[in-house]
Amino acid sequence: MRFKGLDLNLIVVLDRLLTEQNVSRASDQLHLSQSATSAALARLREYFGDQLLTQIGRRMVPTPRGLELGPAVRAVLMQIDARVLNREAFDPAISNRSFRIMASDYVSLVALRHGLARISAMAPAMTFTITPGDETPARMLERGDVDLLIMPDRFVSELHPSIEYFRDRYVCVADPDFRQSGGDLTFDEFLSKPHAVVRFSQGRQLTFEDWFLERYGHARRIELITTSYASLPYLIAGSRRLATLHERHADLAAPMLGLAVMPCPVEIPPIREVIQWHSAMDGDDALEWVRSMLLMERTE
């Protein structure tokens, strides 16, 4: 089918080529031969009067026109999926939709698991894939690689709708033998004791540390670094290390591991986790229902 001279089948090919930036991988995704995908790219170049993707070494890099078309093409396909292909009356009891959610292990532990349990009871055929945080969550959302982002508000895009999921504050967690003196943890103790911390990839690794240095002008004694919130309490138990942990997470882990929970001697702003989705998916009844089930966490 053609629309204003463009074979609409080529829109799907263009989306895959701009996403994969590789003819071979795009061909695999499209279930086409490489020659057929290359021929489709040649027709797209002719129609738009632009190379769209150029070969640089072993990589294909989008041209400025290709970069401009990418989000628009992705949004069109997402709207077709949400508002045309999935417009049957939504019934959670029989829906077999699959959703991809990007969320940290911390969010999964303290909130997401409750919402998914509710959904499982009401929509037993629905399936979910939970992926860890990425350096470019907004790009993942734009490309349609995830349906929902659950992130601290500082990481979400201003271009798409979002809603607050929950807030949490920070506490300090340590083994009961961590300190001999009673009373609250002091600022000097906080600085002098060895810390275990969570850091992610280079783009996000120093979020708390940067804030702490800017606010107090001091560096903590970091003795151990992990990339997993879930592992942090286990790395504290039986050690002389201190950790700064979200209170909801501490409430789960401390009783199980026999850890002591103490107020932080520094004023740390609470974390605000939000749920974000692509604006093109506003008409998707199933995704809206999933969000509503997750947001019930706020009233519990």
Cα separations (Å) of 229 from 105, 127, 172, 225, 235? 6, 24, 14, 11, 10
Beta partners for 130? 101
Architecture of domain 170-269: 3-Layer(aba) Sandwich (3.40)
- For 2-35, write each residue's pLDDT tens digit: 656 676 677 788 888 888 888 888 888 888 888 8
Taking the domains of the chain in order of start, what are their residue ranges?
2-85, 98-167+272-299, 170-269
**Region class of 238: left (phi > 0), else alpha (psi between -120 and 50), else beta:** left
98-167+272-299 is a CATH 3.40.190.10 domain: yes
Interhelix angle 64-80/9-20, rounded to 10 degrees, is 120
Distance CA 15, CA 66 (A): 10
Q: Is 133 helix (H, G, I), strand (E, B) or coil?
A: coil
Parts of the chain with a pLDDT under 50: 203-206, 299-300
pLDDT number for residue 11:
79
CB 280 within 8 A of CB 79: yes
- Judge if 98-167+272-299 and 170-269 fold alike in CATH terms: yes
CB 157 within 8 A of CB 141: yes
- For 284-296, write each residue's pLDDT tens digit: 889 999 999 999 8
Q: What is the CATH number of domain 2-85?
A: 1.10.10.10
DSSP 178: G
